[in-house]
A and B are shown apart, each in its own frame.
Chain A
Amino acid sequence: MNRKKVAVYGVILALIVAIYALVTGLSNAGVLNSYYSGILIMVCINIILATSLNLSTGFLGQLILGHAGFMSVGAYAAALFTLRAGLPDSIDFPIALLVGGLTAALFGLLIGIPALRLKGDYLAIITLGFGEIIRVIIINLDFTGGARGLRGIPRETNFSWVYLLAVLTVAIIFAFIHTRHGRAVISIREDEIAAEASGVNTTYYKLLAFIMSAFFAGIAGGLYAHHIGILNPSKFDFNYSVEILVMVVLGGMGSITGSVIAATVLTILPEALRDFSSYRMLAYSVVLICVMLFRPSGLLGQYEFSLTRLFGKLSGSKGNKTTKNPASGGEKGA
């Protein structure tokens, strides 16, 4: 079993490297112009956002409506860090991303403590309120550039960085879900009372998952800030939070594979269908309602893509013992 695991991880790593090599090769050869690589960067950023939201909404079962708010906190914190800290270029970018993630996590902690102590849907309301308030505050503050936006952020995000971080995010969240802590988080989704009765500290695990979510949203924000170069507070509105939520819901609440696929498709599709952009949110809302009505767990449900299972099927051996939640499964990045 152990050797098999090593082999699976090796194949996953090889796949990840192969995709990276393919994309960089194509862009070096000039096949991918800057427009396309810009879209690819947004794909990776949205993958980070969708998988991190999936941790709270899909695995923990708490609806969060202010994910864009955490992203904006991270974006502003990271951007202000690179603009003000004056560190040399080579090291300031990773530190800025970390600062962005930690700031977002801090906000997550402050919001999560009152909201998560309670049962029910208060987190949805509070995060929604937070997303709106943080925008108002950013517009009214001086050092964030106000409504004009924050300009002149060095554009240090490139495909290597976002790809690395997207892979890392997916890997960390996937690994987290399969630890003892991850199972505690899932048990809260399944039945909070039963989880509490079995000795799971529900408030602690809710906070943990929520803060992790916020942290990765902050990182995505930092990447976004250094990709676009200009931060405009109105970008991070309720609609953007909903867009991320649609990715999670459509892909499947509790399926990281689903989030990755949905984030990829829903980032590329609007670019391809620019002529219909005024109908986009209308279509999203109809999709949300229909998916909830007819397939409440999302298109992929809790299905995860698993290399082990695939190998098992291909070789026809009995190796496909891993059924629903592949503990030894693999996760394909991007």
Chain B
Amino acid sequence: MSINSILKSTVAALAIVTGGSLFAQGTPIDAAAFDALVAQGPVASAATIASSTWASKIKQAGTLRLGGTQTSNLFSLLNEKDGKARGFDAGLAQLLTRYILGDGAKYQFTQVTSSTREQVLINDQVDMVFATYSITPARAEKIAFAGPYYTSQAGVLVKANNRAIQSYNDLAGKKVATQAGSTGPAILAQYAPKAVVQEFQTHQEALDALRQGRVDAYVTDYTLLLNALSLGTGDAKLAGAPFGAQDPYGVGLPKGSDGVAFINDFLKKVEADGTWAKLWMISIGQRTGSTAVPTPPAIP
């Protein structure tokens, strides 16, 4: 089953269960299971690392400079009490760190937003970016992508009591939030050109704008919206089914880096040995009430 159909059935199930408004209680991540999963991830042999200049440089430096988010509930949320970030993106990043350096904690973290993601790679401020980063041709001109490691489509999030917006067709003339520098503005230009678009720097700010009534709807990656619903901080629902082209998430790397091949091999490995599926279950599945694990996307 594709990721999309899984998510669609999850959403449908939740809708039925909670009677129209999707107000799920925020389930915190199972920290112990997460940490255990990362701790038993694969470690690359010296030969594998030597075959990639990108990985060798990291091995020599002793730490991996990671660009990511700390404020995304399902994908990477920093727990300030123990200083650890956990989530789907965080898990894959830490598994990759362990793969190269033997220890999933040896990374140096930089918080990026959707408008700083490319620049930090161009500026060599980080080695890679793991931040629900959609692969687009425009971005591929400036940086390189490994993966994809996940796919999603666009979705529309509205307040539960909003009867006016049933799908992306009803967005004309409405105030719609999206993330600056993400695929949101392009998708809105294509599917809802008459919407009044407001761009925000982070997912959290856009969600707050919806909650506070500054905007009528929020259009972004469908999985991020499920993210929002899993928080349970206000009545919100998805308007209509996911739409638009399949949105592949990739790992951002500097242009022309040979880390692309290295990471692709790593991804194939963790997908084959079931780690990817387990991580999905711990960070997304268990917290959005879905039990069926999707198949990971094919890596070219």
Indicate whether A and B interact.
no
Q: Contact residues of B with A, CB < 8 Å?
A: none
Interface residues of A (CB under 8 A from B): none
